[in-house]
Amino acid sequence: MSDALLRVDALRIALASNRTTYNAVEEVSFEIGRGEAFGLVGESGCGKSITALALMGLLRQPLSLAGGRIVLDGEEIQDASPAEMRRLRGKRIAMIFQEPMTALNPLSPVGRQIAEMYVLHEGMGWTEAMDRAEEALRQVRVPSPERRIRDYPHQLSGGMRQRVMIAIALACSPELLVADEPTTALDVTVQAEIIDLMAELCAAKGTAILMISHDLGLVANMCRRVAVMYAGRIVEAQPAEAIFATPRHPYTRGLINSLPRLGERSRRGRQKLQEIAGTVPSIAGYPAGCRFNPRCPEATDVCLAVPPAATPLPADGLVRCHHHG
């Protein structure tokens, strides 16, 4: 246990609204080992992105860290000062964002935006840093990097921009890469390339990945372990193979059923993909009892009244359901 790179323990994130304060995320705990790829899955609005921002110390009003511990390499960082967090960010924990269109400064050449990392964290001068930026672009397989470093983001395609983001994030060989929906905004054909590139580079540098996505299939392919979040809580966590073989939470089963499967098309004919009925409840309107109960096909009286506790599963897994049996 103590060899975990990152341990998140009972994380709680508060959302301050006009009068009340809501818990946007609560009781979120997980562990990521060194060099391990860990997946966090859920629909948009379930709290996975703000969990990522919390790890980076980038929560901004009205969101704030309200409780729990974040332990990086044995060191608690949830109460670290802004200056201490700055030294961590980029250097030891890096992040890739969803929107490659807007995540890069439109008025700055991409080479410079990569080079900033070396200037900030490795004390290089700009000339040397630009050479390193060119090297970094080559590593993420951007063609003719010596020319591309002078390009502005609008001159690059979405896929190229996301490669630049990866180059920035991995510039200082961080211990942990937080990737928040890194391929959602990209063409399907480009998605696989980006994912492969990320996995390959992280493996080479020994960087662990926290992969955040709404796409269970993508996450399960890439990650050893997967946690499923719903309405601010982790509802199920299991090794990737186990979550497909024996999903224990009705929500996980819903997610799996909504995945398109190549082999099954012939068997199911033209049957539509199954979707989970309903939508994620808003923070202000979380139902009593189990938060999934309005959408759950298996909900019973106890689900309407009592919030389910986390039940441990083998291999450090857990499930939060009254009927996980």
What are the residues binding another protein (CB under 8 A)? 56, 58, 83, 85-91, 94-95, 97, 99, 102-108, 116-117, 120-121, 152, 154-155, 165, 168
- Minimum Å gap between C-beta 117 and another protein is 6
Those residues whose C-beta lies under 8 Å from the C-beta of residue 86, and which sit 6 or more positions away, are none
Nearer Cβ to another protein, position 87 or 268? 87
Nearer Cβ to another protein, position 142 or 165? 165
Residue 130 exposure: Cα atoms within 13 Å on the Cβ side: 11
Nearer Cβ to another protein, position 48 or 322? 48
Nearer Cβ to another protein, position 58 or 242? 58
Task: Compute the distance between CA of residue 198 and CA of residue 87 in angstroms, rounded to an integer.
Answer: 23
- Minimum Å gap between C-beta 145 and another protein is 19
- Minimum Å gap between C-beta 136 and another protein is 13
| Type of residue found at 201 | L
Cis status, amide bond into 312, omega within 30 of 0: no
Task: Compute the distance between CA of residue 85 and CA of residue 291 in angstroms, rounded to an integer.
Answer: 33
Task: Compute the distance between CA of residue 13 and CA of residue 52 in angstroms, rounded to an integer.
Answer: 11
- Minimum Å gap between C-beta 58 and another protein is 6
Is there a contact between 97 and 109 (Cβ–Cβ < 8 Å)? no
Task: Compute the distance between CA of residue 129 and CA of residue 253 in angstroms, rounded to an integer.
Answer: 48
Nearest to 72 by CA among 56, 86, 96, 50: 56
- Minimum Å gap between C-beta 324 and another protein is 37
- Minimum Å gap between C-beta 87 and another protein is 7
DSSP-assigned states of every residue in 52-107: HHHHHT---TTEEEEEEEEEETTEE-TT--HHHHHHHBTTTEEEE-S-TTTSS-TT
Nearer Cβ to another protein, position 94 or 209? 94
Nearer Cβ to another protein, position 15 or 299? 15
Q: ∠46-245-325 over CA atoms, to 5°?
A: 75
Per-residue tokens: 206? 């020994």
Task: Compute the distance between CA of residue 48 and CA of residue 193 in angstroms, rounded to an integer.
Answer: 24
Alpha carbon distances (Å) from 195 to 59, 97, 99, 199? 26, 13, 15, 6
Is there a contact between 185 and 44 (Cβ–Cβ < 8 Å)? no
Nearer Cβ to another protein, position 97 or 230? 97
Nearer Cβ to another protein, position 6 or 235? 6
- Minimum Å gap between C-beta 18 and another protein is 12
- Minimum Å gap between C-beta 256 and another protein is 32
